[in-house]
Chain A
Amino acid sequence: AQTVTQSQPEMSVQEAETVTLSCTYDTSESDYYLFWYKQPPSRQMILVIRQEAYKQQNATENRFSVNFQKAAKSFSLKISDSQLGDAAMYFCAYRSASPYGNQFYFGTGTSLTVIP
C-alpha cells in the first residue's frame, strides 16, 4: 500500500509571511493524484489544491502553491501571505489513477498556527 508521510506535526508562521509544509509519499505507480486538504477546528475537510502526477507544472490556487518533485516523491505546500484563517490541520493525500485504486491515503497531518 502507498504511504504518505508528513514529518512536521506542528508548524507556525507569522501573519503575512510564507510557510512551507512538507509531504513525501511512497509509490511504485507512475500515474496518480496528490491533494492537500485543510481541516479547521470546525472539523470539515476542505480541498486546498490538487496535483496530477503526469503534469510537470506545479499547481497554484491563489496564495497556495505546491512544489511537486516526482522523482523525489515530494509534494510540499507553500502558503504565501499567511492569514489568521489559514490556521488549521493540513493533510496531504495520495490517490492512484488506476481504475482499481479506490483509496485515498492520508498523511498524519501538520498543525499550522498563524501568529498575529
Chain B
Amino acid sequence: GAGVSQSPSNKVTEKGKDVELRCDPISGHTALYWYRQSLGQGLEFLIYFQGNSAPDKSGLPSDRFSAERTGGSVSTLTIQRTQQEDSAVYLCASSSPGQASGQPQHFGDGTRLSIL
C-alpha cells in the first residue's frame, strides 16, 4: 500500500485478555517504530526495529509487552494480560533506509485500544 497500515483501527477487550496489534510498514522501509499515545499526551516510545539488527526494546513498559517483526516487514505488538492503564492509541511508524540521514517517520492511523 501507499502508507503505513495498522489493524485493527479500534479494539475493545476485557481486562486480562491478550491483544495483538498489527503494523504493515511502507514497502522498502527498514525501520519500524511502535509508540503509545495516551489521551491528550505525547508519544511514548515503545520499541524500534532496524533491518536485521536486534530491536531496541528500551521503551517497553513491562514484560507484558512484546513485539516481533517477521521477514523485516509486518510487525505485531502483543500485550498480555491487559490492564486498564494499557488503554491508549498505539501508533506505528516506518522510515526509509539511511538511519543517519534524518529520514522522517511515516505514521499509520493507529489502533485505539480500550480495556474494559
How many residues of B sit at the interface, in one of the four size bands?
20 to 34
Are the C-beta atoms of B42 and A102 separated by less than 8 Å?
Answer: no
A residues less than 8 Å from B112 (CB atoms): 43
Are the C-beta atoms of A45 and B107 separated by less than 8 Å?
Answer: yes
B residues less than 8 Å from A35 (CB atoms): 104
Residue of A nearest to B108 (CB): A44
Q: Is B18 an interface residue (CB 8 A)?
A: no
A38 to B60, CA, bound (A): 25
A37 to B37, CA, bound (A): 14
A62 to B101, CA, bound (A): 23
| Residues 35 to 77 of chain A near chain B (Cβ within 8 Å) | 35, 37, 42-47, 50, 52
| Residues 70 to 116 of chain B near chain A (Cβ within 8 Å) | 89, 91, 93, 99-100, 102, 104-110, 112
A22 to B36, CA, bound (A): 23
A104 to B108, CA, bound (A): 16
| Residues 33 to 55 of chain B near chain A (Cβ within 8 Å) | 33, 35, 41-43, 45, 48, 50
Are the C-beta atoms of A104 and B100 separated by less than 8 Å?
Answer: no
Known: A44-B107, A45-B91, A104-B33. A98 touches B42 (CB 8 A): no
Per-position contact with B for A67-106: 1 when CB-CB < 8 Å, else 0? 0000000000000000000000001000101110111111
A residues less than 8 Å from B102 (CB atoms): 33, 50, 52, 95, 97
Are the C-beta atoms of A47 and B104 separated by less than 8 Å?
Answer: yes
A37 to B93, CA, bound (A): 13
Query: Of the candidates A45, A97, A108, which one forms a contact with B100 in the assembled complex, judged by CB atoms under 8 Å apart?
Result: A97
A-B contact pairs, 26 of them (CB 8 A): A43-B110, A44-B108, A44-B110, A45-B91, A45-B93, A45-B105, A45-B107, A46-B107, A47-B106, A50-B102, A50-B104, A52-B102, A98-B100, A101-B100, A102-B48, A103-B59, A104-B33, A104-B43, A104-B45, A105-B45, A106-B35, A106-B42, A107-B42, A108-B42, A109-B41, A109-B42
Residues of B within 8 A of A (CB): 33, 35, 41-43, 45, 48, 50, 56, 59, 89, 91, 93, 99-100, 102, 104-110, 112
